[in-house]
Amino acid sequence: MRIFSALLRRDLAAFFLSITGYVIIASVTVLTSLSFVVLLTAFATRPFTAPVTEMFYSTYFFWLIVLLVAPVITMRLFALEKSSGTFETLMTTQVSDLQVVAAKFAAAIIFYMVAWLPMLACLSIVRHFTSQSGGLDAGTVGGMYLGIFLTGCLFLSLGCFASAISRSQMAAAMISFVLGVSLFSLSFLARLIPVTAQWQSQVLSCFGLFDQMDDFARGVVDARTTVFYVTATFFFLFLTLRVVESRRWK
Amino acid sequence: MIEVSNLTKCYAGRTAVNGVSFHVARGEIVGLLGPNGAGKSTTMRILSSFLPATSGTVRVAGFDVFYDSVEVRRRIGFMPENNPLYPEMRVREYLKFRARLKGLSGRRSRERVATVMEQCGLTDVSKRIIGQLSKGYRQRVGLADALVHEPELIILDEPTIGLDPHQIRSVRQLIKSLAGKHTVLISTHILPEAEMICSRMVIMFDGKILAADTPENLQKLMQGSSQTVAEIGASVAELNAAFSQLPGLEKFDVSASDGEFQRCALTPRDGCDLRPAIFALACERGWMLRELTRSRHSLEDIYVQVTKPNEEEES
């Protein structure tokens, strides 16, 4: 635990001590504000019945942020350590591979959640200036953030995996971007093809990230969706761990 | 402390280390010498259990580096080649982080960090950002990191590379002061450095060990080929005639120097000292003698010397 907390602190510090961290936070803030502007323009023209959190997400800015920011956050985790050689100093101490992977992932998800905090300000502005206080209760905001957390986990674990398999940060970012976009495209497919009893369509519906996010934004937490995200995250973290271990395979 | 037997490491299509065996006793300072690509760094990476060996066994303090990797890593302080550090951290912060990683408690890590910073002369720069430090200071940070948890074995890969002479001297002093208390394995390609610091040297070339002995013994081994260089003011013909009659001379080479002087490189037979004979010769013939030196061996000569039998066998 002592080692884990030391690793976590160092990885978090790396985000907050470097300019990249602040650039990421600033970009996320700009994009959420943009979506906020789009949303307010829409509100001004016609009335909506859906909660504001759901509207927020429906502008697609959300997915743009997830797809772009996750690779940028995770690209340096392993790739930078490998290219600068610090991976060698790190792995020749008594740390276990699991501790390293867990600490890096935890640092990434914490940073990611911090980057989403400015959205709370946007929501409170909506609450202050509109009559839509009903759509902004703790449940919908909590659901929204849980959704952000779970999608974040999935996309960041993808990014961890991409970073672990490459030595170059650029390559890591590109691989995780491609993986992320593939996953994202699957949800388009899932939306296009109606859900039937066949197992193929059942499986595909699991990848319907849009519909799942819709639910979260409405404050509906579906156990199946949660299980899907958690399992997929653990799957990619497991792959990352295997990649890190593979260095010592004979 | 270290027992390496039949260590082989193959990278895809290339054998970096080929059947290497050596051992290092507790408290010794051993130098791993060799040119670039000799397999020194690979050997050190395997010793620090960063890489697995293709075959052969390596034991550190009785633990196998592959099967008891954690136990081995607990006992070593490793400074890799080029000394990688986190440039955005401050010196004290970095050392503290490393101490915590190595399992030291909060209080103990504070004490140890203060001690090693004192030991490595880092107290003045404890609050500076590592990325802004000079190479010499960064090297010392790397050393301090290797020492911070008081490991039994310290492995330093080229610790003095890229330093200025002052810094090299202080790093050497520091390494020397570790003898007895810690076992130290350092790699270098500078022979005088190894001679100065190490109680024993292991010379590697092309993935194999060519020689392993104390610096004195290796020097003796080498003396057979030590050259004497003389600059004499005489004609080439005269010199050739005189040298061909000189006893104890195996080989000579006369080349023109500036003015009337000739530069003569003389190789003795059986490692005898040719200098008195040359001086006597110059006196006898009334030649002007302006330089007379016996060359000390560079590492290059040692490689040439030790690899010579193989080349002859092949040809």
Tell if the CB–CB gap between B98 and A2 is shorter than 8 Å: no
| A98 reaches B (C-beta below 8 A) | no
Q: What is chain B's mean pLDDT, rounded?
A: 84
Indicate yes or no: CB of A93 within 8 angstroms of CB of B101: yes
Domain shared by B13 and B53, yes or no: yes
- Partners of B78 on chain A (C-beta within 8 Å) are 88-89, 92
Question: A18 to chain B: which residues are within 8 Å by CB?
Answer: 88
Q: How far is CA B43 from CA A97, B6, B65, B192, B234, in A?
A: 22, 12, 12, 22, 52
At residue B314, does pLDDT exceed 60? no
Whether residues B157 and B190 share a domain: the answer is yes
B52 contact A CB<8A: yes
Tell me which H or E stretch contains B5: strand B2-11
**Closest Cα in chain B, distance from residue A88 (Å):** 7
Whether B146 and B247 share a structural domain: no
pLDDT at B154 over 90: yes
Confidence of residue B312 (pLDDT cuts 50, 70, 90): very low
Q: What is the pLDDT of residue A134?
A: 56
Q: Give yes or no for residue B315 having a pLDDT over 50.
A: no
pLDDT digits (tens, 9 = 90+) for A198-249: 777 777 777 777 777 777 777 778 888 888 899 999 999 999 999 999 888 7
Phi and psi at B233, nearest 5°, equal -90, 90
**Candidates B66, B78, B89; nearest CB to A92:** B78
B70 touches chain A (CB under 8 A): yes
Residue A134, CB-side half-sphere exposure with 13 Å CA sphere: 4
Judge whether A246 is closer than 8 Å to chain B, CB to CB. no
Nearest to A17 among B88, B100, B102 (CB): B88
The pLDDT value recorded for residue B273 is 78
- Prediction pTM value: 0.83
Q: If 0-12 CB within 10 Å is exposed, 13-18 middle and 19+ buried, where does residue B122 land? A: buried
Token duo for residue A121: 């300000």
- Stretch B306-311: mean pLDDT: 55
* Residue A108, amino acid: A
Residues A93, B73: C-beta atoms closer than 8 Å: yes
- pLDDT, one tens digit per residue, over B92-134 is 999 999 999 998 888 999 999 999 998 888 899 999 999 999 8
B237-281 pLDDT, tens digit per residue, is 888 888 888 887 877 888 888 888 888 888 877 767 788 888 888
Comparing C-alpha atoms, which of B241, B249, B246 is closest to residue B267?
B249
Last residue of a domain, one of B186, B221, B256: B221
Contact B80 A88 (CB under 8 A): yes
> CB burial class (10 A; 0-12, 13-18, 19+) of residue A192?
exposed
Query: In whole angstroms, what is the distance from residue A212 CA to residue A205 CA?
Result: 9
Burial of A67-104, coded b for 16+ CB within 10 Å and e otherwise, reads: bbbbbbbbbbbbbbbbbbebbbbbbbbbbbbebbbbbb
Q: A240 CB contacts (<8 Å, ≥6 apart)?
A: A78, A101, A105, A157, A160, A161, A164
Kindly list the domain boundaries of chain A, sorted by start residue. 2-246
Which of B164, B189, B221 corresponds to the end of one domain?
A: B221
How many whole angstroms separate alpha carbon A246 and alpha carbon B90?
A: 32
Give yes or no for residue A127 having a pLDDT over 80.
no
Domain identity same for B41 and B89: yes
The per-residue pLDDT of chain A, averaged, comes to 85
Tell me how far apart the alpha carbons of residues B242 and B250 are, in angstroms, rounded to a whole number: 13
Across the interface, do A7 and B86 touch by the CB < 8 Å criterion? no
- AA identity, residue A146: L
Kind plus residue range of the DSSP H or E element containing A210? helix A209-217
Residue B67 contacts A where some CB pair is shorter than 8 Å? no
Contacts of B49 in chain A (CB under 8 A): 92, 248
In-domain check, residue B187: yes
Closest alpha carbon within chain B to A247: B51
Residue from B41, B43, B50, B152 to probe the interface with A (highest A Cβ count within 10 Å): B50
Q: How far apart are CA B68 and CA B108, in angstroms?
A: 25
B8-17, B62-71, B101-110, B294-303: which range is least confident on average?
A: B294-303
Residues B52-101 have pLDDT tens digits of: 999 999 999 889 988 988 999 999 999 998 889 999 899 999 999 999 99
Token duo for residue A250: 């004979």
CATH code of the domain containing B170: 3.40.50.300
Q: What percent of chain A has pLDDT over 90?
A: 42
Q: Which helix (H) or strand (E) holds B21?
A: strand B14-24
**B121 in contact with A, Cβ within 8 Å:** no
Q: Is B3 on the interface with A (CB under 8 A)?
A: no
Q: Is the pLDDT of residue B311 over 60?
A: no
Distance CA B227, CA A120 (A): 80
**Same domain for B213 and B263?**
no
Alpha helices in chain B (DSSP H): 40-47, 69-75, 91-101, 106-119, 135-147, 165-176, 191-197, 215-222, 236-245, 275-285, 299-314
Least confident of A36-50, A58-72, A138-152, B289-303: B289-303
How many CA within 13 A on the CB side of residue B156?
A: 33
pLDDT at A189: 79
Q: Residue B127, Cβ neighbours under 10 Å: how many?
A: 9
Confirm whether B98 is domain-assigned. yes
State which residues form the domain around B25. Answer: 2-221
CATH code where residue B291 lies:
3.30.70.3100
Minimal Cα–Cα distance from A100 to chain B, Å? 11
Which of B189, B221, B253 is the endpoint of a domain?
B221
Q: What is the Cα–Cα distance from A96 to A91, expressed in whole angstroms?
A: 8
d(CA A249, CA A243): 10
> Of A46-50, A107-111, B21-25, B162-166, which range is least confident?
A46-50
**Paired sense of beta strands B153-157 and B183-188, if any:** parallel
Total domains present in chain B: 2
What DSSP character marks residue B87? T
Q: Are residues B63 and B178 in the same domain?
A: yes
User: Do B147 and B70 have their domain in common?
Assistant: yes
pLDDT-derived band at A45, boundaries 50, 70, 90? confident
Rg of chain B on CA atoms, in Å: 24
Same-domain status, B118 and B259: no
B301 in a domain, yes or no? no
